[in-house]
Structure 1
């Protein structure tokens, strides 16, 4: 055993950091309360008054009893003109023993209509389904596109139908359970799904509703005869299964999954061993001031199986910790920032480690706390561009699955080298303590105002230092606000903000989802600039 030790317990630094984290979690609790309200008390009451279940209630009845549901992108649309959650609930749950990607339109929010953030969230969830070979179940009840924002939805929205086709082509089952409206372009969602369940007197699927049909053709019709469940089950053949009510539809959905003969194609986990240290202590790992460094081994000691970690090159490039561990029995290679700044040695060490992980077909876990690659004449002469590029190249072309967790800072090209969103990690989560931007707010504000002053001086123009200072402060406030996890999560730049104490569980569920497909790597790379 190579068990990690800990120096955290009882220190004043831990107490201060834990208090700062608890304050951030309290803020998150307020946003979670917004999510729980869905479209508001009146909208939920009206919905239930029609004999309908809420989106979350439908998911609860669909998944196996006493199994977890890993909600993904829950804070989509935060800070925008649209309700938090983007009119949709989505995540990974176990249905009839099979891990599935589940999405549910929330009809209590503007009738479940899709706004631009809904589309972004939906495409991300479909991407997770495809990459991890998760059967895709859609609980459909939507009024279609949010018409005032149609210019941002109509053209890119076609990607949802293309991805349904891609899922089916890849042999990943797609199941649509229609609870209400699925009209116009939305009619193609059940139309392109492998399995379709419709509910008597509830489901309505048509390209054009009665008003549009009358306007276009003069034909007078009603919802049921035009696109109801009876018609689609008996006449058009769109409905594969006819349900009597919502509970019956969910029961049928569970039976469809049970008959898929689905089996995981990835590696089975080994025995799972609890860490030696209490997850509660994770609250005090990250200082309230991210300028203060912390040891990522303190995180690993409370996350990996048995707190057992075999470190790779511990004496070289010590600003990044690399090594091997298991989480809930699944093997992982860990890449964690230790000192914030990435030097040439860290970049070279990480590149080698990524190559080894690909040779061994071992998934990689990135724990972010970096201000970026080192700058300055000495480091430019030492080849920091080459070595940083080598690390980015390795991350870009690595074929084993990646999971990223933004624990602290994630700035500049360091965000790229540590497998940020643009580098296609299978999952990316953030702690409430995380921040991410091109650089820190103070540094960016100083750069912008310094450039403005130098430009004025070069042109011989007068310069107002007082106004420039006010501008600097405004820029710093803006960048600080835009680097916070809720802002970034609202843009669907992560898959969720997680309580640090839940990190081991979230990573275990993610690794289990990844294991639905084989861990593959062709072990080839492009040219590294040496």
Structure 2
């Protein structure tokens, strides 16, 4: 685990470094703050900032981090979604990865009723990638208007360029602050205007901060410099009259009795070796106090009730990897109970999927697995997911994987996720190829089979690693296991900005 954490820290360092020393220095010489420096000044002193998707674009041709920083921070006591362009990376231009990252941030803000603050300095779209971002990119502006309609405030602090389609970002925000002599907001710059109309113009008359504050009315506030813009932004949040619809974290909760340091050694290097998830639960919940539900039934899945930072939660955690019919029915009942009591659910993944074989097919594993997936899909209480170890096949779905809408999903460095394990997938392909050759009456090339299996195993192993999946935005970040409790506490607090109400219309079915 230590080696994986060191590798993770190195990759995070790449995101923090932005476009590199050359472009950071150029940015500073212009008297500008870096994206993370702007965030640090914006949020309340000594308050945490939960950065999301820091490894977006990992494994692609784009810069790690995706030219944008997103996360949840507290501003004047209000939890806000903060989205900050990183102008040291291609001028903050949007590429496919940064677009996905921004859309995920907007989704989290909408689901959890978080005001959004955009720290804007972007040259618009990375034009060579327009085929991948133009069509889906429209959702960025739609999300701003739907948030406003839902009475979730949106604020834009414009520090530099916000041009072309990007001009609609401040244009569709509830509150707009522009920095004098720095902010430039226009649909078409001087060259485009010259080409389209023959008109001679300059940046300031077309889209300067003073013009928008005095003439067009797009700017609600004119800031003297970046620090002033941030001060004004904090003032706007202070006057929002914003109230969480749920409780804040309780100050009198008990810390876990068990040491979180031990979390580094609980997940075996070989994920085929099972581990007891109670050892994890006891190190993340308040007072290490966990009331297990149905402990003698469906023992490959641990379920029960606990508190985390004072918030009640229900926990589902894989114990032996495989999900049988009993575990599926147990999970279904437990999820329905959580919806009866409006209790958020935490899913701790270490599963190879649902059991296969004649006995289990005849015993109804498909319908029982479907019950669990149905319950997860139709549950209305917030879900949190943490991938600790394996998360393979339909088990990933049943344990509330990305496609099932968890409010937040994080992975440990030890996690792996794919349709099945590398060796199993390669073995299936080998069996199919062998049977096809036999059906044609042809000899089977064992050397080619061995080469194919090795290639497939290597590919699937690489594609199942957490950094690969995080780079594709299939999680909200890879976290140090020791930080799990803190991260989940921040998420639960954010979730309680909105109402928490379970599914209605039916009670609990005993399967």
TM-score interval w.r.t. the shorter chain?
A: over 0.9
In the alignment, which of 444, 449, 469 is matched to residue 488 of structure 1? Answer: 469
Matches within 5 A, 1:81-160: 81-160=61-140
Equivalent residue for 1:478?
Answer: 459
Once residues 91 and 52 of structure 1 are traced to their aligned partners in structure 2, the CA distance between those partners, rounded to angstroms, is: 21
Is residue 2:501 matched to residue 1:512?
no
Structure 2 residue aligned with 1:501: 482
Q: CA deviation at 1:33?
A: 1.7
1:71 aligns with 2:51: yes
Q: Name the residue aligned to 1:282.
A: 263
Structure 2 distance, partners of 1:238, 1:272, is 46
Alignment partner, residue 420 of structure 2: 439
Alignment correspondent of 1:383 = 364
**Contact 2:53–2:470 (CA under 8 A) maintained in structure 1:** yes
Residue 225 of structure 2 corresponds to residue 248 of structure 1: no
Structure 1 residue corresponding to 2:192, chosen from 212, 215, 231: 212
Which residue matches 1:26?
Answer: 6
Task: Show the counterpart of 2:41.
Answer: 61
Maintained 8 Å contact 1:355/1:523: no
CA distance in 1, matches of 2:16, 2:137: 27
Q: How far apart, CA to CA, are the structure 1 residues paired with 2:468 and 2:4?
A: 14
Gaps of 5+ in 1: 1-20
Q: Distance in 2 between matches of 1:366 and 1:383?
A: 24
1:467 is matched with 448
Aligned counterpart in structure 2 of residue 302 of structure 1, from 276, 283, 286? 283
Q: Secondary structure at the match of 1:521?
A: coil
Match of 2:44, SS state, is: coil
Match of 1:311 among 292, 299, 313: 292
Structure 2-normalised TM-score? Answer: 0.98
Instruction: Give TM-score scaled by structure 1 length.
Output: 0.95
Write out per-residue CA displacement over residues 5-26 of structure 1, whole angstroms, 9 at most, x where no aligned residue.
xxxxxxxxxxxxxxxx111101
Q: Give 1:524 deviation, angstroms.
A: 3.4
Closer, same or farther in 2 for the Cα pair 1:109/1:368, shift >3 Å?
A: same
State the partner residue of 1:355.
Answer: 336
Q: Which runs of 4+ in 1 moved over 6 A?
A: 526-530
1:267/1:519 contact within 8 Å kept: no
User: After superposition, what is the alpha-carbon deviation per residue over 1:289-313, rounded to whole angstroms, capped at 9, x for unaligned?
Assistant: 1011000000011100000000000
1:21-64: CA deviation from partner (whole Å, max 9, x where unpaired): 11110111110221221100000000000000000000000000
What is the alpha-carbon distance in structure 2 between the residues aligned to residue 515 and residue 409 of structure 1? Answer: 29
Query: In structure 1, the residue corresponding to 2:258 is in which secondary structure?
Result: coil
Partner residue in 2 for 1:165? 145
- Matched residue of 1:180: which SS? strand
State the distance in 1 between where 2:464 and 2:259 align. 30
Once residues 159 and 266 of structure 2 are traced to their aligned partners in structure 1, the CA distance between those partners, rounded to angstroms, is: 45
In the aligned structure 2, how far is the partner of 1:396 from the partner of 1:118?
28
8 Å contact from structure 1 (residues 393, 528) kept in 2: no
Q: Aligned partners of 2:446, 2:170: CA distance in 1, in Å? A: 62
Contact 1:397 1:525 in 2 (8 A): no
Secondary structure of the equivalent of 1:114?
coil
Match of 1:335 in 2: 316
For residues 16 and 157 of structure 2, the distance between their equivalents in structure 1, rounded to whole angstroms, comes to 23
Task: Give the Cα–Cα distance (whole angstroms) in 1 for the partners of residues 434 and 138 of structure 2.
Answer: 47
> Alignment length, in residue pairs?
510
TM-superposed deviation, 1:503:
0.4
Distance 2:155 2:329 in 1: 46
**C-alpha contact (below 8 Å) 1:402/1:427 kept by paired residues:** yes
Counterparts of 1:446-461 in structure 2 under 5 Å?
446-461=427-442
CA RMSD in angstroms, aligned pairs only: 1.2
* Structure 2 stretches lacking a partner, 5+ long: none
Kept after mapping to 1: 8 A contact 2:336/2:507:
no
Are the structure 2 counterparts of residues 151 and 423 from structure 1 closer, same or farther at C-alpha, using a change threshold of 3 Å? Answer: same
Give 1:526 shift.
Answer: 11
